[in-house]
Structure formats: C-alpha cells, structure tokens
Chain A
C-alpha cells in the first residue's frame, strides 16, 4: 500500500472509529452465543487464510484486497484461534476424552500452517504462544507444556550438542516423574531425535529473508547494512530519545527516514525517540496495567470459556507488546508483529479493539454476579 503520510493518518482515524464499533459489539455480545459460534468463526478465519494463499500473489503477500479494503487475515485468525482453543478446552472440561488435547492441537494446526505458508513465521509462532498460554491457564502444567512443545525444542536444541543433552535430560526427568510407560519414552525420545536430525534440512527450506532475520537477531552487527541495520537504527532512535525525548514530531531518526516501517513495526522507536524514557516507560506501564486488569477479569470469570478467552486476550496483548517493543529495543528478532492499538493497520486495530471489548464484557460479567 502506498499512501501518503497524511493519508495514513486519516485512514488510521477511520480504523479507530470502525474499531470502536467492534469494541462495543465485543462488550455487548453474549458469551454463550459466542461460544456456540466459535468453531464457525474459526472455520471462516481459516477460509480467509486460505484465500490469501490463493488470491495473494508473491511472497510476503499477506493481504486480501477487495476494492479499497486490505484485509490481513492472519490478524483475524489470532482472534479465531483464541475462540477455538477456548471452546475446545472448556468442552473437554465438561466431557473429557482420550487424546483430547491432541485434538485441540490438530484443530488449530491448519491456521498456523496456513500462516506459515504466507510466509509469516513470526505470526505463526505468536499463534502457538497464545494457544500455549491458554493451555497453561486451563491448568496444564509446565511439564505437560514441555512435552507438547518438545518437537520445537528438539529442533532448536539441535544447533549444539550441549543444548541437545540438556533437552533430553529434562525430557527424561519429566517422563520419569509422570511415570509414563516405556512406549511413551520411545515416542518422545525417538520422535524428538528424528526432529532434531531433520532440522538442518528444514533450515534450508526456510525463506532466505527469514533465515537472515534469525541470524541477524543472533548477531545484529554481523550485517550492519542489511537486515541488522533496522535493529541498529531502531536502537539509535530509541537511545537518542534519552530521558525526556526529542519532542513530539521532532524525532530526527524518524524524520530522516532512517527508521524502517516507522508507522507500523517500529512505531515504538518513534515514540521512544520523541518522548524519551519517560514516555516509553509510561506506555509500557499502561500496557502492563491493561494486561493485569484483563488477567484479573479472566481469573474471576464465571465459566471456563469466558475465562479462557479472556486469558487468551491477555496473552495476545502480552506477546504482541513484548515481541514488538522487544524488537525495537533489540532483544527480539524482527517479526513484523504490530504494537496493539498503536501500530498503523486496520485489521489489527479492529481485531484488538474487538478482543478488548470481549475482555471488558467478561469483566462486567463477574462484577454483576
């Protein structure tokens, strides 16, 4: 999308106005009704994601374009995932079934794979993190989570033998403490060994820009003019803000266009450059209070679905804020996750405001009881 800066502003105002409507819908909607239609919503988001694959052309094309509308289905899919996994886990609580958790994962897998195909590694990892957070909220312990994500850990630990040994030891400890039968040992240890062996091959299948992003994350100075440049310039922008910042609309880094994607991914750098440490810490504190309040609402929700959805929203906010701000500060890789409520983008703005509406809805519900 090529839009002038003033055009961006008026569009963003429009998104906020539409988003507020969705926020009100979120506060007003019946959770019971929402629970009923959650699988349908999820199915629709998967279809949208599929449409991106078939309609969108070329790599990193993550939009569906309908006339003037540019929809980013992966943003909507995150909301769909929260609803879907909450729906599954709350229904499992009522009617437990064998391999139920595996079913949940199998259900959410299409959305994650379709996002990965876009290709959007960052968003698909964020999706997995949100689902894991919902699992934790549902009471699945760290050991269980470790087993669930063990293939991923196996892949990561395959980069060095020390990591691998550490990974296997923890895996064995958990299996031992849970007194799993021998067949489980065989599946977990054997399966993860295969994953670890296949990882180097999978690495070659990654898109070049994804690989360079990962490498650059590990060592930004290795490529100061390439992908690492974004991180360095962002750090320079944030750092030059100092204690009190360079003043609203005075950011030199922003003005000179050193900052990449300064209205979307790196919007926090602009904020930190212009308002300094004071503004940066106020913004982070505001997000923290928001997430804390959502978590409280989740804790006091009257039923499983409400609570899990609200917790998922808290996880959504936490992951987005941490990954986005962490990226601008150079402690997370460049992933393209937006900063909720602040980054430019219609899909994201509307989805976030809708989710916050739901959280407020859940919060109001327990107050009334």
Chain B
C-alpha cells in the first residue's frame, strides 16, 4: 500500500470530500425542501412576453408616383393586464384622457390573454405621450411604442378607392397592428401589411425584462409592398370637384380604352379616411351615418343604376350585327308613344320616322320598341353580357356589383312564366325595366365602342396582367361599329343631338350617348361616351336624381375632360 507510513492523507481527503458533499446536500435541502414552495411560486411567474414591431404599411401611389397613402410615426400606449396594478387606474385614465372606468373595461376584456399587451390609446402625438412617459416608472405594465400610423394625402379624392384602415382586433393580430377595413386597403391587405417584427423577451414575476429570449428571439419587420394605381390623381381630383359642384350624389368613371387603365373612379359625397386611421370619434361617426347621401357608399362600382337610354347603344349594335335592321331601315313613325295591349309605352317627344342613327341621336324610344320585337329577350340578354354587363369587371374593387341582365329564366323566377311578356322586352330595349349596371360597366361599354371591341378589361393596378378584350371578336360587325360610332358623334354634333348644348362651346371631339333613368323621385342623369384625341378616354358620368342626362350629366362630362386636358396642356 502506497503511503503505508501515513494514513492521514486518506482520512483527510475523505473528510474533505464528505464535507463538500454535505455542503451541497444542505443547500439542496434548503432550496428544495425548506423553500420549495416559495421557488415554485416564483418559477410560475416567469414567462415570455412577445413584443411586436408593426411593419410599415406599403405606400400607395397614383400612376405618376404621387403618394396617396403612406405611414407616419405615432405612438401607442398599451398595457399588459397581468402586470398592470389597478391602483394606478385613475392616474393612467387621467393621463390618457379616458373616461372613468374605461381602462378597467379594456383590461377586463383582455384578461383572457393576460400576458399580451392591449392597446389603450393609439395614434398619439409626441406631446400627448410625453406626460405618460414621465410617469412610466410609477405604472408598471404600461408601455409606449412607436407604431406607424396610416396617412392619406388626398383623403377625400381617394377615400372609396383606398378605403381605410383600423386596428386589427382578431386573435392572431398584434397590439397596434392595423389592417385594411375597406377598399384596396382591405383587398390588398396581404400585400400592404408586410410582416411584423417579433421580439421575445423573458419577463420575471415583476414584469421586468430579464433577458432576451434564447433561440430565435427576434425577427425584423418586413415592410409592406408598395402599390401603384392606374388612377391619375389630378383627374380624380377634377372629377370629384366637378361632381360635387352638382350638389348631388354621383359617380364618374374614366378609362383609357387602349389598355384598360382606370384613370378615374370618382364617387361623391366623400369622407375623410384619416378619421378612421387616427381613431374616429362617436360624433364624427354619427355625422357620417346621418348623412342621407351616405358618403361611405361607393357609387362607381358598388352602386347599380338602370342604364336607361345609354343602353340603346347595345340594342343598336345587336339589331345591326344580327342583321335585324339595316342603317337605313325605318319602322313606323314615333307618335310619342306605343300602345301594347292596354299598356302605353311612352317616348319623351314625338319623333316621326327615323332610322337607327337618328333614333340614337335624338334618343327615340319608340324606334327601339318597334325594332326590338324582331328578336327575343334572351337574345338581347346574351348579347349585352358580351359587353361585360352582369359580371364583375375587376377582382380588386371591393363590393363591385355585377348588375343585372334580366333573361327569361330571371323573369320566370321573378314573375312566374305567365307574369311577364313583350312589355319587359320593350322596357329592356331602352335600358329600363329590371336592367341594372354600374357606372364602371357603362364606361366599359363606351370604351368597347371606341376601341371597336379591342379594349382589354379595366384594371386599377398599374402592375397587372393585361387580359384579352372584354368583347369577343365576332359579336359586333364592323358596319355596326361604324353606324353606332357615327350616331354617337351626331348625338354631340347634330343640333337635335341630346348632347349638342353641353358640347356646343367645347373644343373636344366627343362621341356620346345620354340616358335619363326613370326612378322614384327625380330621374338619374347619365352620359357615356369617349374621346379619341388627344387621349383615348372612355367616360361615364351618373348624377343621382340629376334629371335629364344631356343637360345635367353632359356639362359635367365636358368640364371634367376639358379641365383635365387643359391641365395637361393638351388642348
């Protein structure tokens, strides 16, 4: 045995080892047996808090790069329910200008997920947030973050196109995250929102950050994608102004018929979407709701109107293309009305004998009552569907309506197979009856005529796929295009034309067709048409309850186009 003369190293070593292990054992007893309950409590209060940095929402600009919507920095004050001490309620309510009990209400609502911060106030300015920042040390659980606030630069002009945003309140959204509520903000939300940044923090029982989370602790926010519209902000602004000057609700749509770019989709009355971004007050909200003209309602694609006499363009195309009439065919004269059975179908004046060009020029109803009987209701329904009626033209405009083309199936369902007859066909031929279209569809009809069927489907995003023309090639014959185009020019140039007065002083060469839609109260005034020079523009203007199309909507069309072209220095 080594070290046989000395036994002490062995016993010395063994005692040292024993003492060390006893020390460990004693501390283990202290931690686990004596203080076990205390530490178990502490352990359960540790948790991970997820802090979200909202991604800057994508910028929306017009076709020329004018910024329509972007983000500016604002502050959010939020609270973590589990960390907030309710004795501080009064202080926080006072600092944030909340009503008594409001804070407790918010916290109670959020107590289901107590570790996730809830927003108390958003969109605060530096001045407003500074007083709470000074008191932050007294109110654990309350925090201030910078969050991008949506800002609209031409709020009224683009309120319906862009829509507005609001605070996301779904379970999988984050504190302060905004989301599109209506319009393109809603439809393009996934593109615009970006990806919020995440930061995980380990928080102890007192709500203090004790360390960054280990592992994938943070992800930087990815900014949202930018979107360019086909709309020209200047034209949009002119259209809104001109529509507002009529004093009546209305809509205007202008499309470049060569490429389908929607250059203007105006709807009045308007509202200020910034109110929603900054937190709308109850009074402001009530004011919007109480407005009988409903500013929130989009009229260019979400409203439907009877196309009235503007539809005669399609009826004429149909009659001519199907060979039911020729250019010079004249049915029996118009005596101011047509009697069918015991129902009298009126015309607005007595026109006498007319051919199709004259009938369009003077908007004679009786001509179409007589000629339409050469075909059937299903034929004209099928034909008008080729022009985009009865279906959505885009897939990005929220609430876009299809309109309605009544066919025999529809009428059977609505009235029973015996409940309708030739009268319905007569009404449809002049764009009345059950027929409904959106102003956007009417502008497209004008564009199809102008482009002789070459116009691609309309679109509002600059970056988009240009699809095949709306109209398939053999629907309208060349001669039908020639004749209808000639008639639409005469509507403006002929002394008897319904748009003669509106364009008598104009330097524009305009092709148009008026409509006066019969409805309860004053009639809706409609004009569709196009210009070829200096730009290929198709237009539709609808003035609700405006009265006669030619005299009310006509000048609006003329003013919008000439102001815009003058501004561009093209006329």
Contacts and interface: CB of A to CB of B under 8 A. Distances in A.
B47 A256 contact: yes
A238 B215 CA distance: 23
Given A229-B211, A257-B213, A299-B1, A277 B9 contact: no
Nearest to B213: A257
A326 B12 CA distance: 21
B40 interface: yes
Contacts of B247: none
A126 interface: no
B46 A256 contact: yes
Given A229-B210, A325-B24, A329-B28, A240 B17 contact: no
B23 A318 contact: no
Interface stretch (B29-37, B154-162, B303-311, B444-452): B29-37
B226 to A, nearest CB: 36
A74 B388 CA distance: 80
Interface string A296-324: 00111111101110010011001001100
Interface string B210-254: 110111000000000000000000000000000000000000000
A243 B33 contact: yes
Given A137-B9, A307-B3, A258 B28 contact: no
A284 B21 contact: yes
Interface stretch (A56-64, A95-103, A168-176, A287-295): A287-295
A136 B12 contact: yes
B39 interface: yes
A235 B208 contact: no
B25 interface: yes
Contacts of B214: 257, 260
Contact of B13 (A136, A253, A258): A136
Contact of A253 (B37, B43, B209): B43
B415 interface: no
A359 interface: no
B49 to A, nearest CB: 11
Contacts of A302: 1-2
Nearest to B20: A322
B44 A239 contact: no
Given A133-B13, A229-B210, A252-B43, A238 B28 contact: yes
Contact of A257 (B18, B25, B32, B215): B215
Contact of A288 (B21, B29, B37, B38): B21
Contact of B32 (A238, A295, A298, A322): A238
Contacts of B44: 240, 252
B31 A281 contact: no
A252 B21 CA distance: 27
Interface string A185-200: 0000000000000000
A241 B36 contact: yes
Contact of A239 (B3, B12, B39): B39
B219 to A, nearest CB: 17
Contacts of A308: 2
B46 A284 contact: no
Interface string A219-238: 00000110001000101111
Interface residues of A, number: 57
Contact of B24 (A237, A240, A284, A295): A284
Looking at B24, B208, B213, the one whose CB has the most chain A CB atoms below 10 A away is B24
Contact of A318 (B9, B17, B31): B17
B441 to A, nearest CB: 58
A336 interface: no
A240 B40 contact: yes
A315 B202 CA distance: 38
Given A136-B12, A136-B13, A299-B10, A284 B43 contact: no
Contacts of B38: 239
B40 A257 contact: no
B68 to A, nearest CB: 45
Looking at A229, A235, A236, A280, the one whose CB has the most chain B CB atoms below 10 A away is A236
B110 interface: no
Contacts of A295: 10, 13-14, 17
Looking at A133, A240, A260, the one whose CB has the most chain B CB atoms below 10 A away is A240
B37 A242 contact: yes
Nearest to B28: A280
Contacts of B413: none
Given A292-B14, A295-B10, A277 B28 contact: yes
Given A242-B40, A299-B3, A322-B24, 13 more contacts: A138-B3, A138-B9, A238-B32, A239-B31, A256-B46, A256-B202, A257-B213, A277-B32, A280-B32, A292-B14, A302-B1, A314-B13, A315-B13
29 contacts: A136-B9, A136-B12, A137-B3, A137-B13, A225-B210, A225-B211, A235-B31, A238-B39, A239-B32, A239-B40, A239-B43, A240-B39, A240-B40, A241-B32, A256-B47, A276-B32, A280-B28, A284-B25, A288-B17, A299-B1, A299-B10, A300-B1, A301-B2, A314-B13, A322-B21, A322-B24, A329-B28, A331-B23, A331-B27
Interface of A: 133, 136-139, 142, 224-225, 229, 233, 235-243, 252-253, 256-258, 260, 272, 276-277, 280-281, 284, 287-288, 291-292, 295, 298-304, 306-308, 311, 314-315, 318, 321-322, 325-326, 329-331
